[in-house]
Each structure stands twice: as C-alpha cells, then as structure tokens.
Structure 1
Amino acid sequence: MIRRVALALPTISPLGGGVAEAARLHVKALSSAGFEQISVHTLDDRMDKVDPKQWEAARLYQHRFMGPISYSFAPAMVASLMQAKPDLVHVHGVWQFHVAAVHLWSMLSGKPYVVSPHGMLEPWIRARSSRLKGAVSSLYQNRFLKKAGGYHLLTEKESGDVAEFLTGQPARIIHNFAEPFSSDGAKPGWWKPEFDGRDIYLFLGRIHEKKGIMELMDAWARLSSENEQFRNGSALVFCGWNDGIEGFEAKVSALGQKFGNVLFAGPQYGPDKNRSMGTAKFFLLPSKSEGLPMAILEAWAAGKPAIMSPECNLDIGFERGAAFRTGYTADTIYPSLVAAHNLSGEDWARASENAKALVAAEFSEQSVRDGLLSLYNEAVEWKVRG
C-alpha cells in the first residue's frame, strides 16, 4: 500500500517551464487521493519566483547545489529522500543529479520509482551535448532507466523513446491537464497603446532554440513587409525568458523598430501571465521538439487557438479544430501566418470554442489523478514481482 509518495525534479520555479508546471499539477491532483504525505525534493534556486500557496499540499525539501545548474549536484537530496520515507518516488525529467539521487535512494530503500521523461529521451534532445549525456548514461542513467518501476508517458511517440529501457515494467500514457482559465480582464504590464485593436500572436514560455523562435521572426518579417494590413493590424509578443538564443533580443528590437509590431515582454507570472494569455488571438509554438507542451493546454483552456507544429505531439488539436498546423522553418511558418490572418471571425470563434471543449473533455484533473494512482500501484507490484 502506498501511503507516502515523493516527487523529485530539478526546480519548481516557473523558469523550469512545463516540467515544473506538470509536477505542480500532479501535486494538486494527488492532494485529494488520501496520501499520508506528499513530499517534493528539488533545488533552492529561483525560489523568489515560486508561489508557496501552489505547493502547500506537499512538504518541500529544497537543496543547495554545486557546480553548473545544468547538472545541479545536490547530494543532500539523497538524505531528504531517506528522511521523507516515501513508498514510491515520481521522477520528473532526466539528465540531472536528481536522477542519481533517486537511483541511490532506491538501492538503499528497496522501494520503486516511476519516471516522467517529459520528452527528454527523444533523439533531438539526446543528440545535444551528446558526449556529456553519453557519459551520464554510461555512469548510471541507463541502469536507472532500466530499473524504473514504471513510466509516465505524455504521448504515443514517447513510447518509442523509452522502448530500449523497458524490461516489462508498466508504461502508461497519461496526459497533463490544464486548470480553468481566469483573468481580471486588465491589460498586461507590457501593453502599448498602439496595440489597441491589433490581433496579438503570443509566444509564452521558455525561449529556446528548439521552439522555432528565430524562424518565426523571419516568417513574420516577410509577411509584415508584404502585407500592410497584417503589419498594422497584428503584433507578435514573446513572453518568457531567453534560454541561450544568441541574437534573440537584437532581432526582436530590429523588427520592432522596422515594423512596430514585435515585442519581447520578458517572463510573466501570476495575474500578468493570465492577462497576457487573455489578450492573445492566437498562441504560437512552431517547435522542433516537445514532450507535451503545457502552454498549449493553457492556451486552449483560455480559448486561444494554437498555431503549432506536429512536433508538439498534440495532433488531437488538429483533429478537433482547436489548432492550425505549421512547420518550424520560416517557409512553413509563413503560410500558417497568412492563413491565420485571413481566418474569418466565425471560423476563429469556432476554433476558440473547440479549444475550450477539447481541454474539458480530454485533459481533466480527474483523469490525471486516476492514471497516476493506477501507474503507482502497478509499479509497486512490478517491483515486488521483480
């Protein structure tokens, strides 16, 4: 019987992107499942961005780390896991030290863990910094993955990413869920008077090479040059933090000066995040690689149709009329922007309603809670049999 469950992840800060948000929602979903204790084991970095109320259902263990944040060596995490005495640990993300900490905890305690890779085992990700990831894999991560009691997968595609590590343990597809959208209707802090009456095309999240950001701006510049109505009636707004794209801010500034319709607003939290989403007409994610992006679920909950690539692994959005297909090159993004600009008011309203209906039907808190509890029990049984 599982009385205590723990979650381990590198950070719970909003700067942790979809992984941190997914873990927060898991805690929320599990809080009504009757556990004696839910604990979260993470780093103490960027806690000024964390709203403690959002994690009050769990006991937080926050650890200092040494060395580069990309690995986050935090040996005290092993001790906190032993102290919390969980019957099972749910690991969110791979490649960082929390994986080694849980692996050691499992060897010492004999208890199982389940893994949510969050898309981090797909070929595109594994090919980046391949020598370092190869060393981590050889040292312990491959053994850790093969010894997992179960896998929480976000998409059917992810089944192929973990196939080499499966040795008979359960692997279940459990979608994330989005909370109901609410906003006070006020304009976000970045709003400019000249944006009044314009269609806002919003990107909100981690600004990373894989998101198709630079290619999006190339397509936007082309359409702004060719179409005066689009140029003067639309605005491209980036909300998030730059995670290593050189030249991003300079390119935004240049396009903003040339066309007056591109803005980098920086990270948005709490009410400002909801206000930003509330102003949008379309949500953009022409990504090259994703797990299952939380930002799109949040956009759909707000009734915002997505312009997204198939690599977002949410084809159901295309099928249900909540999303419009794009690629991640400038040449494939361009026609998607043209089509969005030419969309009739009736067609946009239909897509908006489809988005809200899709989230309510397929990405609910109850379905996530039931799926996780079933996976946890199967993982314990697998560990006992093994």
Structure 2
Amino acid sequence: MNIAILSGITRSAGGVFYAVSSLCKALVKQDVGVLVIGWGGTEFQEDLEAWGKVSVSSYKASGPLKSSLAVRHLLKTSAVDMVHQHGIWLDDQWAALQWQKQTGRPVIISPHGMLDPWAVRNSAWKKKLVGWLFANESLRKAACIHALCQSEAEAVRTYGLKNPVAVIPNGVVLPDFDHSTFNFQRPTRRRRLLFLGRIHPKKGLKELIEAWSLVQGAWRNDWELIIAGWDDGGHLDGLKTQASSLRLHWSVEELASDFCSRPSTLYFLGPKFGEEKDALLRSVDAFILPSFSEGLPMSLLEAWSYGLPVVMTPQCNIPLGFEQGAAVRIDPETESIAEGLRQFFSLPDDEQKAMGLRGRRMVEEQFTWEKIAEDMCSVYKWVLGGGSPPACVRFD
C-alpha cells in the first residue's frame, strides 16, 4: 500500500505540519509506503529533519493558491495507490482532483478545520471562487473525508457533503519525562500563562489581551501572559498597538527568571520551534487557547502532554478535556475569557496540578500517534477495497 500525502511540509503550515509529519512517521512504522509532496519554503532544509525517514518531495509554488505544475508531475510519476490531501482551498487540492480523474484512484481529504462554519465565512468570497473552480468538486469526489472530531464531522455535513466521514483525532509525541512526578511548587518568579501558535484573528488573541487588561489585582501581579508564535498577515502589530492603548506593560524580551524584576506582565516572544519550544513548554505553568475556530489543535495536545492545565473554548473541539477535568471553559469573548482567568487563578495549586496531570493521562490513553496510525491504516485499506468500513467511519 503506497500513499501520496499532499501537505504543507514546513513550519509555515502551522499545526498541520506537526500533525502530518508525526502521522507519516507513524505510518512508516506500520509498513505503509509514504511519499510526501509539498511546496517548500525558506525553512524547508531546516524542517526536513522533522520528517525522519519519510520520503519528502518539495516543489516551488507561487501566488495565493501556491500554484505549481511540478506537483502534477510529481503525482503523475509517483505510482501510488491513493492520495491523502491535507488542507483545502489551495492548488494541490486541484492537482489531486486532476490526478483522481486521470487515474481513477481514490483521494482522501483532511480539511483540518477548514470547513468549520467560522473558517468558511472568513474570506468567504475567495473560498466561493475557489470552491467553484475546483474545491467543491474535489470534496464531493473524495472517497472519504477525514474529520478530527465529531464537531468537524458535523461541519462536513453542514457544508453539504454526503461522503463517508472517518473521525480520527490528531495525536501527540509525549515528552521524554514522567510528569506524574512533577513538583508543582509556586516558583520564585511570576507564574506563566502561555499561548503558543499562529498569530491570527481566529485565535481570539485580541479578546485575550482585552481580557488580560480586566484581570486586576493580585492575580495579574502573580502571573505573566506569554504570546508566542509566528505572525500571520501582520496581526501581531495590531496586538501590540492594542496592548499599548490598554496601558499594559508589554515586552519582546526573553522571560526573567526572578520574581517581578520587570514591570511587564505581557510578552510577545515570536515563533518557537524544536528545542526552544520544548524549553518554553517546560518553563510555563498553564496554557490558554481562546479560539473562534479549530480543527483539533496540536497546541492543546502538546500542552497536556507537558502536564499543563488548560483554559480553552468549546470551539477547540476537544470536549473530552472538559469531561476529564483537564480544562477550564471559556467562550471567545472578552468578558468570558476574563471570568475564566479569574476562575482558574483562584484554584488552589494542587487543583491546577491535578488538572494538568488529568490532561497528561488523557493524551497517553487516547492521543498517541501509534493508535491513530492504526486507525488511519484501516481507513486506507477499506478505501482501497479491503472489506467492511472500520468503526471510525460514519455515513449519517
């Protein structure tokens, strides 16, 4: 069984890059032949290491759709049994549709939250045009749509698609330490609340900063808010301007190790990858994701894997986090975020620690890449004619 994976292959693809590279490495261990095809940016050589032993072919692309004839040539000469398309609205989805028509072989599509109603409304006219050109036909002709959660499966149906839907979550690579022995003592510095991800309006960062300005008194004096990630479309400058207008002390310096050595309680640290990201996650005390729209965010799974308690919205699409007592619920609105922060900060230290450890156990039990690769393999075999549909596939 040989599969071509179409996906962003560098960190510029955000969480999709980490999810797909981890899935592909797990599939190779399942003896699946994997060829990854994607456009390479300036980070390609640096990020190639993340793919391990997976075969990766890069091509140059241009324009807002990342258009290229090279992706079509690579598909034509690949001799694979099936294409698994990750992400939609770009030219590689069109190339996969053309390959499907030419060969009669199946395509599976993973939208990664891009069919969520909020996401569809964002830049709606552009998506209507791309939908008319190729995206809607591609989605209708897919042998199966891969949804990361039940909410995304419902979004697939809301969009009007009647394809079989396989519900398989993202996974996480567990850090190499046992967090059950973690010593959750109050540090000699301010405690740290982290957002780590793409700096984009859908992440609710504008609302988070406004909420931070409302959390007055001892709580904000005891905590720092850290916003780390890569700027998508110039959104970061607006956040800095907003913080200044709210008279928040903010900084782009690295974090201090001692208590209250600086007036800042808000930090913009820029993108963090590899060892820097690992060090940051090990140095913070809690994680927040106030998003308006997500597929199934890798950043939350990673936060739980480090034993961090989480503050998140239902739109993050991991209701299990609430059910397991690993997260505080907020809505992507200023007042709700502020109230959620007050609620979380008022929890005893032991309860904050217990929240994080419940999250760690949750990802250990349900979100490992080995299990997810097994489920994905069962879908591949079924699509290629291997008997009855697996239990993760729904038709309603």
**Aligned-residue offset at 1:50:** 3.8
**Aligned-residue offset at 1:44:** 1.4
**Aligned-residue offset at 1:382:** 9.1
**Contact kept in structure 1, 2:11 and 2:43, CA below 8 Å:** no
- Matched residues, number: 363
In structure 2, the residue corresponding to 1:255 is in which secondary structure?
coil
Identify the match of residue 287 of structure 1 among 286, 291, 303.
291
1:232 paired to 2:230: no
CA distance in 2 between partners of 1:50 and 1:115 (Å): 27
Q: 5 Å matches for 1:96-175? A: 96-163=90-157, 164=159, 166-167=161-162, 169-175=163-169
CA distance in 1 between partners of 2:171 and 2:86 (Å): 16
Q: 1:278-322 CA deviation, whole Å, 9 max, x = no partner?
A: 111110101111110000000000000110000001110011011
Where does residue 3 of structure 2 map in the other structure? Answer: 5
Identify the match of residue 49 of structure 2 among 42, 49, 53.
53
Where does residue 192 of structure 1 map in the other structure? Answer: none
**Contact kept in structure 2, 1:24 and 1:55, CA below 8 Å:** yes
Q: 1:215 to 1:166 in 2, by over 3 A?
A: closer
**Aligned-residue offset at 1:160:** 1.9
Q: 5 Å matches for 1:35-46? A: 35=32, 37-46=33-42
1:215 paired to 2:202: no
**Aligned-residue offset at 1:370:** 1.4
**Contact kept in structure 2, 1:40 and 1:61, CA below 8 Å:** yes
Matching residue's letter, 2:249:
G
**Aligned-residue offset at 1:252:** 4.3
| More moved, 57-66 vs 87-96 | 57-66
Q: Name structure 2 gaps, 5 residues minimum.
A: 178-186, 252-262, 388-396
**Aligned-residue offset at 1:54:** 1.9
Identify the match of residue 256 of structure 1 among 239, 242, 249.
249
CA distance in 1 between partners of 2:243 and 2:153 (Å): 37
Q: 1:199-240 CA deviation, whole Å, 9 max, x = no partner?
A: 1000000011011101111111111xx31x223211000110
Where does residue 320 of structure 2 map in the other structure? Answer: 316
CA distance in 2 between partners of 1:306 and 1:14 (Å): 24
Q: 1:182 to 1:252 in 2, by over 3 A?
A: farther
CA distance in 2 between partners of 1:257 and 1:141 (Å): 42
How large is the RMSD of aligned CA atoms in angstroms? 2.0
1:243 paired to 2:235: no
Q: 1:159 to 1:234 in 2, by over 3 A?
A: same
In structure 2, the residue corresponding to 1:102 is in which secondary structure?
helix
**Contact kept in structure 2, 1:142 and 1:165, CA below 8 Å:** no
Q: 1:228-259 CA deviation, whole Å, 9 max, x = no partner?
A: x2232110001101213251133346522595
Q: 5 Å matches for 1:72-111? A: 72-111=66-105
In structure 2, the residue corresponding to 1:65 is in which secondary structure?
coil
Q: 1:140-187 CA deviation, whole Å, 9 max, x = no partner?
A: 2111111101111101111122225544x431110111101248xxxx
In structure 2, the residue corresponding to 1:350 is in which secondary structure?
helix
CA distance in 1 between partners of 2:208 and 2:121 (Å): 23
Q: 1:230 to 1:53 in 2, by over 3 A?
A: same
CA distance in 2 between partners of 1:142 and 1:382 (Å): 27
In structure 1, the residue corresponding to 2:14 is in which secondary structure?
helix
Where does residue 21 of structure 1 map in the other structure? Answer: 18
Matching residue's letter, 2:324:
R
CA distance in 2 between partners of 1:274 and 1:299 (Å): 10
**Aligned-residue offset at 1:86:** 1.1
**Contact kept in structure 2, 1:305 and 1:352, CA below 8 Å:** yes
Q: 1:115-140 CA deviation, whole Å, 9 max, x = no partner?
A: 10111012111112222211111122
What percentage of aligned pairs have identical amino acids?
A: 31
In structure 2, the residue corresponding to 1:327 is in which secondary structure?
coil
Where does residue 188 of structure 1 map in the other structure? Answer: none
In structure 2, the residue corresponding to 1:236 is in which secondary structure?
strand
CA distance in 2 between partners of 1:317 and 1:144 (Å): 33
CA distance in 1 between partners of 2:250 and 2:227 (Å): 16
In structure 2, the residue corresponding to 1:60 is in which secondary structure?
strand
Matching residue's letter, 1:355:
G
In structure 2, the residue corresponding to 1:31 is in which secondary structure?
helix
Matching residue's letter, 1:255:
L
**Contact kept in structure 1, 2:312 and 2:329, CA below 8 Å:** yes
**Contact kept in structure 1, 2:192 and 2:225, CA below 8 Å:** yes
Q: Name structure 1 gaps, 5 residues minimum.
A: 184-194
Q: 1:241 to 1:308 in 2, by over 3 A?
A: same
Matching residue's letter, 1:249:
K
